[in-house]
Amino acid sequence: MYIDLSSSSSVAPSSDCLHQPSPDHEICAGHRTYAHAKSATYAHERRPLGESIPYGGVSFADLHEVRDRWEVAGCGRSGVSSVEARRVRYVEGPFDERWDGRLGLGLGGALEGMGGGAGASVFGLRFPGEAGEGELALGGGNEALYDGEVVMHPVSGGGVDRWRNPNRGACVAEVRSDVQGIHFAKPLWAEDAQNAVDADEGVIPLDCRDRELMPDLIFTIGEQDLSLTPYEYIVEVRPGRNESSEAQCWMCLHKMSPDKTDACVVLGQEFLSVFYSIFDTDKKEIGFAELSNGL
């Protein structure tokens, strides 16, 4: 299950999901797919939606708005509106991600009301990273996974479905799980990192030994300072078993076009994998804490 903090909608690939243009390769084989014919609570809402949803090396199309019962981490809710994808189109590859569906946890997301109103509007997220597998905790955070206090911050924007926070200097920070890397608006590049980032590409290969020379990046949200070391914002990609090349390191900082969003910084997957995050859809708050040293 893919956790999407940037959207309140959820998507499930149905059981007739096919790989195109190679019919011999069924991309959904071995995955837990959505078989609506077996559900007693399935209801088709309206005609197919016109858009497609890209994910990894494929895009999901033939989208239908449906209503059904969702169960996540042992909690269930009936009548959840979501999207069913009945066709998969191959875009680029190879595709090696496990994709059982997308759970939208933006404000107003699918978890609201789950667990019989037992506080499931609050959830904790440990995003997968070097520390291990991810975990979604309903009703609060898993204290075994983080150290110290979770510092909560108000989310701006009222009815928007994305987790956005105005940090120091009236800059809007947007937390997104569907984006790789950390994206800055051009005027707000960290001065120490600016010379190390390619002006056009935004992501460049580095000698892994150079990480020792790079500075920590400090993000201030409210009164909380959150630091990323060079070993956290510069990713080491190791060669495969049959490859003789050495490992490469890539800077995960990107320049962001100002016309794409009014946020000055978008904190993506690399940021989420470093901290434990708690989200409260009722109070419209987001919080962060350091991952436990034992992980």
Q: What is the pLDDT of residue 190?
A: 47
pTM for the predicted model, two decimal places: 0.79
The answer as to whether 123 is a domain residue is no
The answer as to whether 121 is a domain residue is no
Residues 138 and 260 grouped into a single domain = yes
Asked if residue 234 lies in contact with residue 250, where contact means CB atoms within 8 angstroms, the answer is: yes
Residues 187 and 249 grouped into a single domain = yes
Q: Is the dihedral of CA 147, 163, 174, 126 positive or negative?
A: positive
The answer as to whether 122 is a domain residue is no
Asked if residue 57 lies in contact with residue 92, where contact means CB atoms within 8 angstroms, the answer is: yes
Q: What is the pLDDT of residue 237?
A: 77
The answer as to whether 115 is a domain residue is no
Mean pLDDT of 112-132: 71
Query: What is the number of H-type helices and E-type strands within the chain?
Result: 3, 22
Q: What is the pLDDT of residue 239?
A: 63
Distance CA 39, CA 60 (A): 21
Asked if residue 72 lies in contact with residue 138, where contact means CB atoms within 8 angstroms, the answer is: yes
* Token pair listed for 92: 């680029």
Residues 203 and 152 grouped into a single domain = yes
The band of 245, judged by pLDDT with boundaries at 50, 70 and 90, is: low
Lowest-pLDDT range, 2-6, 151-155, 204-208? 204-208
Residue 68, strand partner residues: 80
What is the distance between the terminal CA atoms of the chain, rounded to a whole angstrom? 22
Mean pLDDT of 117-127: 76
**Residue 277 clears pLDDT 90, i.e. is over it:** yes
**Residue 108 clears pLDDT 50, i.e. is over it:** yes
Residues 142 and 230 grouped into a single domain = yes
Q: What's 14's domain CATH number?
A: 2.40.70.10
Q: What is the pLDDT of residue 272?
A: 92
Residue 49 burial (CB count, 10 A): 16
Distance CA 268, CA 254 (A): 11
Asked if residue 167 lies in contact with residue 185, where contact means CB atoms within 8 angstroms, the answer is: no
What mean pLDDT, rounded, does the chain reach? 76
Distance CA 5, CA 179 (A): 10
User: Which residue range is the domain that position 23 belongs to?
Assistant: 2-104
Based on the structure, what is the number of domains in the chain?
2
